[in-house]
Homo-oligomer: A and B are copies of this chain.
């Protein structure tokens, strides 16, 4: 009943996507987004930590031209003591470093049929970095969150138009998530100042959640007493069946694994060729919902249990390996991970209207010589 009323109220709601999903060819707009944003070449799965330029980046609008000297963070709303902090002041607060795997909620979207019209990721919109900064809970503690607060809203400096709505990029977190000790306001990535495209001078990093939550170019934090209804929270990033479905919000990263494609590639097709004999298959697995408990590697449809290494932290990917003796011929390799909640990657993708939360098994065809 509530949902019905809600839908009526939403009859003039802006479009969450750029049009109905299509089975047609890739559009010029999608190519333009693919050229602007970038994913992580799968061979970078070899490394624990992903450097800038290999770590995926999605920028909804433009990368702001930030001036760290004049930049300030405002913390206000339902707090006892509003704060205005310079970067220098923030850097004097206690700092933590958290290794975090971030993945775009739309990773894999271009493989869906029909294909939602947005950033056309293939499979590689992921990366793991060490984020250093001040725990959000520490700053919220200093500000004093009032009892009636329900969410914390994070607003970046990046401005633009989406779904016909003019906006600055903004997302919210429930209070209980915002008070987690590992949620960080980061001013360093992998030990250096944030690169411009990763949110310089300051960004939020929420371990375990899809990347849309980790607001970049952070300028203000507002503690609010009713749920945030901004475009990126209420229209975008929802699991919907249709445009009219209010859907459910996207939050934690679903279990996924990817493989370093073995052998050498063809430039254009990326098809792989490798010599026969022993080869160590390897990749990474991660989940925002619980620890990775297993990875199976499929070789021509037969699933074998891979060896897991301990991850660098509870929200960092873990390495998996499986030795294989490759016979000459055509083979299909695959990987499929399971997490502590029992969630396992699906063999076929579950379609949804925005193309979100795709975590289908990764398959790699190889020719062994």
Contacts and interface: CB of A to CB of B under 8 A. Distances in A.
Contacts of A266: 160-162
Interface of A: 18, 24-26, 29, 31-39, 41, 43-44, 46-47, 51-55, 57, 59-63, 65, 110, 117-118, 120-122, 124, 159-162, 166, 195-198, 261, 264-270, 273
B31 A270 contact: no
A264 B159 contact: yes
Contacts of A47: 196
A43 B31 contact: no
Nearest to A189: B53
B268 A29 contact: yes
Contacts of A122: 31-32, 35
A117 B269 CA distance: 11
B26 A110 contact: no
Given A24-B25, A33-B270, 4 more contacts: A31-B120, A51-B196, A53-B197, A54-B196
Given A41-B63, A61-B264, A62-B41, A32 B270 contact: yes
A98 B43 CA distance: 30
Contact of A36 (B55, B124, B264): B124
